[in-house]
Amino acid sequence: MFDKGVKFVLHVFSVLIRLSLPEIIAMRTALFRATSLLGMTVGAFAFVARPMSSSISRAAAPNASALTPRVGAGQAAAVFAGGCFWGMQLVFEHVKGVTGVTAGYAGGDKSTASYEQVETGTTGHAESVRITYDTSQVTYKQLLQVFFTVHDPTELNRQGPDVGTQYRSSIFYVTPDQKQIAESYIAELNKNKAFDAPIVTQVVPLPKGFFPAEKYHQEYAIHHPDQPYIVINDLPKVETLRQQLPALYRENLHP
């Protein structure tokens, strides 16, 4: 049985390395749809599942100091949660006008802002990204457009192969204007029937701050571009951004 499992995984990898990114995206979409119809969880497959915390090399101890939304002149901050923060961080580093992206946790207490605790799904935290951006180059609504383009806002407490409240879709607003813009944009999407199912994205305040994730999570997708989870789940998000929102896409990660 073990030998058969190994042979199956090796076969999958042999197929993947011959596929183009658009073909991987199509295969991933078909896989999710098929497993959903069968009542299966995609995360059960090792070749697309996110590594458990015990298998990730650590470079630093958890950082539980909250970041406030304060930024410099001409800058603003946004906090989004749309599944695994590896992919979200990678995507927004490809957005024009973005000056920094930090992976972290939002929605819970400082005392539980560590990966080991958050991945239990019992802390109230969601894996999130804090985005700082130049308001003269990109608007909050445009960031929302990216956010809703690269993740599925109709999935409740999950995103692709990752299941749990820590992977929920949320917008943590830091100003009343952000709340109004986010709620109006979601209403616009619903009116236009942009998705086949109702949007379940939460629009909630950020009362306890944003807590940066451990150092080994920062720019994880950049440092591990060949990791199967990244290839299957995160690189397609960047390709979606490039194809669907070319005016907002930039090739270089850091200006």
Name the residue ranges covered by the structural domains of the chain.
63-248
Q: Band of the pLDDT at 58, cuts 50, 70, 90?
A: very low
Residue 20 pLDDT exceeds 70: no
Q: What is the C-alpha separation between 215 and 126, in angstroms, rounded? A: 17
Token duo for residue 241: 């951004």
User: Which CATH superfamily groups domain 63-248?
Assistant: Peptide methionine sulphoxide reductase MsrA (3.30.1060.10)
Provide, rounded to the nearest whole percent, the portion of the chain with pLDDT above 70.
71
Catalytic residue among 84, 106, 146, 182: 84
Number of CB atoms found within 10 A of residue 75's CB: 14
Residue 84 designated active-site:
yes
Q: How far apart are CA 171 and CA 211, in angstroms?
A: 15
Statement: residue 60 has pLDDT above 80: no
Give residue-wise pLDDT tens across range 220-242. Answer: 999 999 999 999 999 999 999 99
* Residue 255 pLDDT: 56
Half-sphere exposure of 146 (CA within 13 A, CB side): 32
Angle between helices 140-150 and 85-92 (to 10 degrees): 130
- The crossing angle, in degrees rounded to 10, of helices 235-244 and 85-92 is 40
The pLDDT confidence band at residue 40, using thresholds 50, 70 and 90, is very low
pLDDT tops 70 at residue 2: no
243 closest CA partner among 16, 25, 90, 18: 25
Q: Which amino acid would we find at residue 192?
A: N
Contact 127, 173 (CB under 8 A): no
pTM of the model: 0.78
pLDDT value at residue 253: 73
* For residue 15, pLDDT beyond 50: no
Residues 6+ apart with CB under 8 A from 21: 235, 236, 239
68-72 long-range Cβ contacts below 8 angstroms, 24+ apart: 68/209, 69/130, 69/174, 69/175, 69/206, 69/210, 71/132
- Strand locations in 151-242 (E): 158-159, 162-163, 169-173, 202-205, 210-212
